[in-house]
Amino acid sequence: MQKKKDNYKFLFDNLTDSILLCDADFTIKESNHAADVILGKGEKIVWQKCYQMLRSSDHPCLDCPLKDTLKSGVIIPLVYYDERFGEYFEERTHPIVDAKGKVKQFILTCKNVTKSRELEDKSAMMKKLSALGQISSGVAHDFNNVLTVVLGRVQLLKKQLSDPYILKSLDMIERAALDGAAKVRKIQEFSRPREGKLEEVIDLKKVIEEVVEITRPKWDTGAKIKGILIEPVLDLRNQVFINGDSSDLRNAFTNIIFNAIDAMPEGGVLSIKCYCDSSQAIAEFIDTGIGMTEEVLERIFDPFFSTKGVLGTGLGMSEVWGIVQRHNAHITINSHVGKGTTIRIFFPLAVKLTEAAETIATLEGAPCRILVVDDEDYILEILKELLSELGHSVITTNSAFAALKLSQQNHFDIMITDLGMPEMNGLEMAAKVKQIRADIQTILMSGWGLALDEKNLTNVDFLINKPFSIEKIIFTINEASSKIRQFQQTQNNH
């Protein structure tokens, strides 16, 4: 009997969860080694009360899971945050009753669930972002179609008009449409990283200095109007380079600085640093503001969650999250109520230190025979007018099946097709058209924010994301014409 008891004790003492055997009056009768180490700091805790050891309380816990377990007949766990350890724990009580159903003793297990809770929270957040991303991508696609027509019409009108006042007004419309396109792109990107490679080499110091100047009206002029002082303290190291998108980074840093300023209603110090170690670059933002509670920290990246009431949209930090993910970086936030918040973003160091800039051609290429396919008639109209004005021969259709028939009956140099169409999507049609004529250049239009390096674009030669500019159309058509000439030369040589 003693040997059997010793075997059980050996098993319990080698578990990392705390296990206690308690009397009905909450007195601990037995404890395993983990309980003695964690709760008793290495000393035996028998004859102590469980609520003293587990909760540092002088009376039975009001939320003790034993009552609910007895009432329901099911073991009900209780999860709570223990400030002594800064961790989350899960308690379960297993009652031992006599023949009359009266509790004689109970076994209490206590498990550290901090890591599993973090994984669950991260999984829940990713599911929310995925669901919202699916909804927003459809809306973004429709907006991109509308903005394509607006930009196309404005740019055509600008080429035909000379009145300074009208041209100025058209410039304002064009800028508003481009800003709208940028916002739509952000909606597409915040819940998932973009597929395109980040080849721009960013000087982190320069970007942060730009953002500090951009936000000056809020931390300087705005703060003085309120009668407070907010002092930014910069410690920005030289030669901190990362690969990324400077526009996205400015947007992310601006959101962080605005949040820091809002968190210092009585004024304070905003410390901003950038530096690097052997493998990563770090951007650090430290404010002396009001800080955040655990509940706020858990939801800080949730879309539309805001602590600013009607003054906040709740999109700032969720947008930061999307930008961080796209840059293959990670973000940490440490905050304590009344003591301020520290945000650090860790970026991979730049792979190469050579800047690459895309040069958009502005010269018109040789006339081409072009087939344009889109299920939206207003997109067809704007493209036909634009391409015809450039000297190309253009035929349009809103049917994928009609487009295939036209491809069999006519000799087209280039086909421009939309991605999403009811009869057949653009990828399928590009494959079929390539079978009809191998040297035809296929240009895929998309309002979904795709990237050319995706594996399913094998039959697509060029991609144009909506909304597009006249310059982008000219550049792409010229590139397609060049590939056609190269293909013909190769055929002639053979």
Same structural domain, 337 and 388: no
Output 450 or 99, whichever has higher pLDDT: 99
Q: Which residues contact 181 (CB under 8 A, 6 or more apart)?
A: 144, 147, 151, 467
What integer pLDDT is reported at residue 369 of this predicted model? Answer: 93
Per-residue pLDDT at 194 exceeds 60: no
What integer pLDDT is reported at residue 363 of this predicted model? Answer: 42
What integer pLDDT is reported at residue 12 of this predicted model? Answer: 83
Per-residue pLDDT at 313 exceeds 60: no
Per-residue pLDDT at 248 exceeds 50: yes
Same structural domain, 47 and 162: no
The verdict on residue 361 lying in a domain is: no
What is the gyration radius of the CA atoms in the chain, in angstroms? 32
Same structural domain, 343 and 401: no
Edge to edge, the sheet with strand 78-82 lists 28-31, 18-23, 103-112, 87-97, 78-82
What integer pLDDT is reported at residue 419 of this predicted model? Answer: 86
What integer pLDDT is reported at residue 47 of this predicted model? Answer: 92
Q: What amino acid occupies position 439? A: D
Among residues 158, 189, 220, the one where a domain terminates is 189
The verdict on residue 22 lying in a domain is: yes
Same structural domain, 98 and 183: no
Sign of the CA dihedral 225, 227, 230, 231?
positive
pLDDT digits (tens, 9 = 90+) for 460-478: 888 888 887 787 888 888 8
CATH number, position 158: 1.10.287
- How many domains does the chain divide into? 4
Output 199 or 63, whichever has higher pLDDT: 63
Per-residue pLDDT at 272 exceeds 80: yes
Listed residue (18, 21, 19) closest to 95, CA to CA: 21
CATH number, position 263: 3.30.565.10
Lowest mean pLDDT of 165-174, 260-269, 398-407, name the range: 165-174
pLDDT digits (tens, 9 = 90+) for 393-403: 999 999 999 99
Among residues 142, 159, 189, the one where a domain terminates is 189
Per-residue pLDDT at 193 exceeds 80: no
Task: Please name the residue that has the structure tokens 């968190």.
Answer: 263
Q: What's the mean pLDDT in 373-382?
A: 88
The verdict on residue 363 lying in a domain is: no
To the nearest 10°, report the CA torsion of 69, 74, 80, 85: 100
CATH number, position 433: 3.40.50.2300
Predicted TM-score (pTM) of this structure = 0.45
Same structural domain, 7 and 126: no
The CA distance from 338 to 288, in Å, is 8
Domain enclosing residue 50, as ranges: 2-112
Per-residue pLDDT at 325 exceeds 90: no
The verdict on residue 358 lying in a domain is: no
CATH number, position 85: 3.30.450.20
Same structural domain, 214 and 322: yes
Same structural domain, 11 and 94: yes
Per-residue pLDDT at 350 exceeds 80: yes
The CA distance from 198 to 328, in Å, is 10
The CA distance from 314 to 305, in Å, is 4
pLDDT category of residue 312 using cuts at 50, 70 and 90: very low
What integer pLDDT is reported at residue 172 of this predicted model? Answer: 78
Same structural domain, 213 and 344: yes
Which range, 110-114, 140-144, 283-287, is most confident? 283-287
Among residues 189, 214, 237, the one where a domain terminates is 189
The verdict on residue 423 lying in a domain is: yes
pLDDT digits (tens, 9 = 90+) for 327-340: 889 999 998 888 89
What integer pLDDT is reported at residue 197 of this predicted model? Answer: 57
The verdict on residue 257 lying in a domain is: yes
Same structural domain, 85 and 205: no
pLDDT category of residue 196 using cuts at 50, 70 and 90: low
Q: What's the mean pLDDT in 7-34?
A: 87
pLDDT category of residue 41 using cuts at 50, 70 and 90: confident
What integer pLDDT is reported at residue 22 of this predicted model? Answer: 93
The verdict on residue 50 lying in a domain is: yes
What integer pLDDT is reported at residue 130 of this predicted model? Answer: 65
Q: What amino acid occupies position 74? A: V
What integer pLDDT is reported at residue 355 of this predicted model? Answer: 37
Same structural domain, 102 and 65: yes
Q: Strand 330-336 vs strand 340-348: parallel, antiparallel, or unpaired?
A: antiparallel
Per-residue pLDDT at 222 exceeds 60: yes
Same structural domain, 392 and 456: yes
The verdict on residue 330 lying in a domain is: yes
Summary mean pLDDT of the chain: 81
Same structural domain, 70 and 156: no
